Amino acid sequence: MNTRTLLADAVARLEAAGVASPRFDAELLLAHVLGVPRGQVSLVDVSASSRAAFEELVARREKREPLQHLTGEAPFRHLLLKVGPGVFVPRPETEVVAGYAIDALASMVSPVVVDLCAGSGAIALAIATEVPAAVVHAVELDRAAFEWASRNVAGHAVTLVRGDAADALPALNGTVDLVVANPPYIPMAAYESVEQEVRDHDPALALWSGEDGLDAIRVIERSAARLLRPGGVVVVEHADVQGETAPAVFASTGAWQSVRDRPDLAGRPRFVTASRA
């Protein structure tokens, strides 16, 4: 079986299984097995052992195991993060959230930053590598996710602590310049509509957030109000259907000014920003 036929068979199998991007996934899995860039898979001879390894990965992807779990990696801005079972796989939408935070920090001198829901460490590490002057703290409660974040931030200027966003880092109260978070925000009522890869493989603690999906965002609002100095900035991701309800969490408390919702690159409501009054 030549490479073209091998890929065509894999694409057909993944498409039949309901995978959203069957050709991309098949090519990336083969590139992963061969150790070459995805664009070069058709130029490399596939040995019997590589073919067997590829077939095994395709079979796992057919069962809707996340692509990133199979490769062990997830791209995020300029980073390539280590991911796997037990940690939320960072999404492209969150890159926009991190980008806003990075831009907001550009005019600050040695800013103090807190990421309250670190997960894989994606946002905290992006800030630390793109804003070298920043003093970055990251908080993660889940043990498995904390271990993944520890691997990703190792050797970088990120202080990672295991704790609850509700009461973490009390020594920093009133001194932080920017708080950022990608908290859980899916309501339990939406369980059946969530794609299988997410529902079955991302950790529950990173997904579900009460009946309206806002429970964790309410916690973030209170903690951000506690941590930030006057004029400090909060940046919080939310679901695209929460473009009004998430900002309302901040606007209703009196602790914030300039509350505004902002879109992702597709124009969908994606994150709320505000300044500490």
Q: What is the pLDDT of residue 79?
A: 97
Residues 129 and 233 in one domain: yes
Q: What is the pLDDT of residue 207?
A: 76
| 33 and 110 assigned to the same domain | no
Give the per-residue pLDDT at 203. 77
* Res 42 pLDDT > 90: no
Q: Judge if 96 and 196 occupy the same domain.
A: yes
Give residue 194's pLDDT: 67
In this structure, is residue 122 part of a structural domain?
A: yes
Considering the domain architecture, whether residues 139 and 46 belong to the same structural domain is answered as: no
Q: Which is nearest to 115 in space by CA: 159, 70, 167, 181?
A: 181
**pLDDT value at residue 114:** 98
pLDDT at position 198? 77
- Average per-residue pLDDT for the chain: 93
Q: Do 177 and 256 sit in the same domain of this protein?
A: yes
What is the Cα–Cα distance from 122 to 133, expressed in whole angstroms? 18
- In sequence order, what are the beta bridge partners of 24? none
Whether residue 97 sits in one domain with residue 39: no
Q: Is the pLDDT of residue 100 over 90?
A: yes
Which whole-number Å values give the CA distances from 109 to 106, 121, 160, 179, 221, in the listed order? 8, 23, 22, 16, 24
Task: Report which residue type is found at 42.
Answer: S
Most confident range (mean pLDDT) of 11-15, 42-46, 200-204 is 11-15
Examine the domain organization and report whether 28 and 80 are in the same domain: no
Report the pLDDT value the prediction gives residue 192, as an integer from 0 to 100.
Answer: 64
Q: What is the pLDDT of residue 1?
A: 62
| Domain containing residue 98 | 74-276
What's the pLDDT tens digit per position in 113-158?
999 999 999 999 999 999 999 999 999 999 999 999 999 999 999 9
Task: Report the CATH number at residue 81.
Answer: 3.40.50.150
Q: Is the pLDDT of residue 67 over 70?
A: yes
Assigned domain for 69 exists: no
pLDDT at site 159: 98
Contact criterion met (CB below 8 Å) for 245 and 225: no
Task: State the CB neighbour count (10 A cutoff) for residue 259.
Answer: 18
Looking at the predicted structure, is the pLDDT value of residue 191 above 90? Answer: no
> Tell me: the pLDDT tens digits for 231-253?
999 999 999 999 999 999 999 99
What value does the mean pLDDT take over residues 78-91? 94
CA nearest neighbour of 120 among 170, 154, 165: 154
| 31 neighbors 40 (Cβ within 8 angstroms) | yes
Query: Are residues 242 and 134 part of one domain?
Result: yes
Q: Are 18 and 50 in the same domain? A: yes
**Average pLDDT estimate for 228-232:** 98
> Which residues sit in the known binding site?
140, 182-185
271 φ/ψ sector (left φ>0, alpha ψ -120 to 50, else beta): beta
SS3 annotation, 24-81: HHHHHHHHHHHCCCHHHHHHCCCCHHHHHHHHHHHHHHHCCCCHHHHHCEEEECCEEE
134 residue type, one letter: A
pTM of the model: 0.90
List Cβ neighbours of 129 (8 Å cut-off, separation of 6 or more).
Answer: 78, 79, 156
Residues annotated within a binding site for S-adenosyl-L-methionine: 140, 182
Task: Indicate the pLDDT class of residue 268, thresholds 50, 70 and 90.
Answer: very high
273 strand-pairing partners: 235, 260
Model confidence band, residue 196 (pLDDT cutoffs 50, 70, 90): confident
pLDDT, position 200: 73
Of 15, 37, 63, which one is at a domain's C-terminal end?
Answer: 63
8 Å CB contact between 64 and 17: yes
- Residues 212 and 158 grouped into a single domain: yes
Determine the average pLDDT of the residues in 16-26: 95
Q: How many residues does the chain have?
A: 277
Q: Which residues are annotated as a binding site for substrate?
A: 182-185
Would you say 98 and 127 are in contact if contact means Cβ atoms under 8 Å apart?
yes
In this predicted structure, the answer to whether residue 205 has a pLDDT above a threshold of 80 is no
Number of structural domains in the chain: 2
Q: Where are the alpha helices (DSSP H) in the chain?
A: 3-16, 22-34, 48-62, 67-71, 92-105, 122-130, 143-153, 196-201, 215-227, 245-251
pLDDT band at 193 (very low <50, low <70, confident <90, very high): low
The pLDDT score that the predictor gives to residue 97 is 97
68 found inside a domain: no
